[in-house]
Structure 1
């Protein structure tokens, strides 16, 4: 936000960035979660052996089929785990990005290498902390009562308990390797692209540092991120959702997909992925930027009052 008030607002603290990122990510998740569920269903389509399984076609087709066959509530299956994921993961990978970038910069002007290093660092930390929430979210989104075996879980905390007791604590970190690759790609592409676009638009006076600038930067970041992360995202979803022993390893999962379904399998759900990630980025970054400013304004008001 430009103008007199913008210059008066002090830079956000690390705590403000972390809180703003967590809240903004939860808001974005609540709005875009049906698209994420549609993406997961499209990504796992083709691995179910039963011919009675619903056939999903496109984003709207998948959402419509889910609503007709399993009810509208199914679109939000796994949302509590989604919120837990954003609070434990997105708050750190986004909220700590500027702070870590400053650490790598050490007084000099920030370079592309510093931005990428910051994205790699915060992305890795976020994955190891938030992986259990990712496993539960994906499994709840993927399971259906319409075909195959009885659904494995009745709810979020039931899923945590069953996974921990039947697969061990390591089961909650299943798929960490592909999710690490996915999150590193997403974090670096998403945050670095957004950072560079926002910087270029403001520096060249194309747009002011306000909502339109944040929206344009977020859409471009979302598109680049979706294309680059799709293959590892599909493999991650398949491997995380698999039953014990279905895939001996992540490479085996990828190879099975390639031999049975061809290269196009790695881009299943690409459209809902972009619709979800693009809209998620717009909502999250706009909320993130506004929350940071409002929190710092409130803090400044409190400081002045005292």
Structure 2
């Protein structure tokens, strides 16, 4: 008689954090031009003298940027983007399952919807405070243009960290924390909870197996939901982070200025690149995350069995 297969081991917290960080970095590298297009569309209309270029649509923005400022501009701020994923995605995604199990520990039942939401709130909040400086630098690098004689504010990622900290203040590296906290909490809860619920629905009702097609479809649905819910906070965050000192007195004044000068639709500027970016980012990240943590757990299980 063949020996019974060993039960699949639950991924450790370390495996989940490592898998989340690696998968998020890969997703960022592939989808970064969409993120740059989103930022340019979001700040359009903020300053009439910004560059004189009008961006139209996702493809139009990417094409215009590549033609006027060079293809490399689409990846301006990528080092800060990678730093952001290492410092924040590994926490908000890698710790999510551990956090929901912690909240459900006293019930001796599977994590409830409330446990999942609390876990998303907690890990999303922690990730923002840790990763906010990388977000500030990423947005500033993506937003700056050298057209029409405009001198770039920063020559590179590390130059941006230094100039922001010395010429503005160290606290400026945490500028926009409140709108980014709101955005991140909304995205984290909507994205992770929706992904969990949709995947559980497909698997539980035997519509799809717990494999790549299920992960892909769940990630797409989660990406759309997260984009729709987070767009207003995302646009305000981008505007406030990119603004020079004194342009906006506070986050609410930034939001009010957008509303009065540009109307309610301003809060959904860049929605399509936001969705395309977040949906494609989710697909790449979740599919890689699920496969990587599964393979790492199997490898660990094999090593344990042989020893």
Q: TM-score range by the shorter chain?
A: over 0.9
Question: Which TM-score applies when normalising by structure 1?
Answer: 0.96
Query: Partners in 2 of 1:52 and 1:154 — Cα distance?
Result: 18
SS at match of 2:93: helix
Aligned position for 1:118: 119
In the TM superposition, what whole-angstrom CA distance separates every residue of 1:197-219 from its partner, at most 9, and x where no partner exists? 00111000000000000001000
Aligned position for 1:16: 15
Aligned position for 2:33: 34
Query: Is the contact between residue 9 and residue 293 of structure 1 (CA under 8 Å) also seen in structure 2?
Result: no
Query: Partners in 1 of 2:14 and 2:269 — Cα distance?
Result: 38
Query: Is the contact between residue 136 and residue 173 of structure 2 (CA under 8 Å) also seen in structure 1?
Result: yes
Query: Is the contact between residue 50 and residue 148 of structure 1 (CA under 8 Å) also seen in structure 2?
Result: no
SS at match of 1:300: helix
Is 2:113 the partner of 1:101? Answer: no
Query: Is the contact between residue 51 and residue 145 of structure 2 (CA under 8 Å) also seen in structure 1?
Result: no
Aligned position for 1:63: 62
Which structure 2 residue ranges, 5 or more long, are not aligned?
none
Query: Partners in 1 of 2:210 and 2:188 — Cα distance?
Result: 22
Give matches, 1:1-306, under 5 Å. 8-50=7-49, 53-106=52-105, 107-147=108-148, 149-306=150-307
- In the TM superposition, what is the alpha-carbon distance from 1:304 to its structure 2 partner? 2.5
Query: Partners in 2 of 1:221 and 1:187 — Cα distance?
Result: 10
Query: Partners in 2 of 1:38 and 1:66 — Cα distance?
Result: 8
Question: Which TM-score applies when normalising by structure 2?
Answer: 0.96
- In the TM superposition, what is the alpha-carbon distance from 1:279 to its structure 2 partner? 0.3
SS at match of 1:12: coil
Count of residue pairs brought into register by the alignment: 302
Please tell me the root mean square deviation across aligned C-alpha atoms, in Å: 1.3
In the TM superposition, what whole-angstrom CA distance separates every residue of 1:124-160 from its partner, at most 9, and x where no partner exists? 0000000000000000000000047411100010000
Query: Partners in 2 of 1:9 and 1:193 — Cα distance?
Result: 25
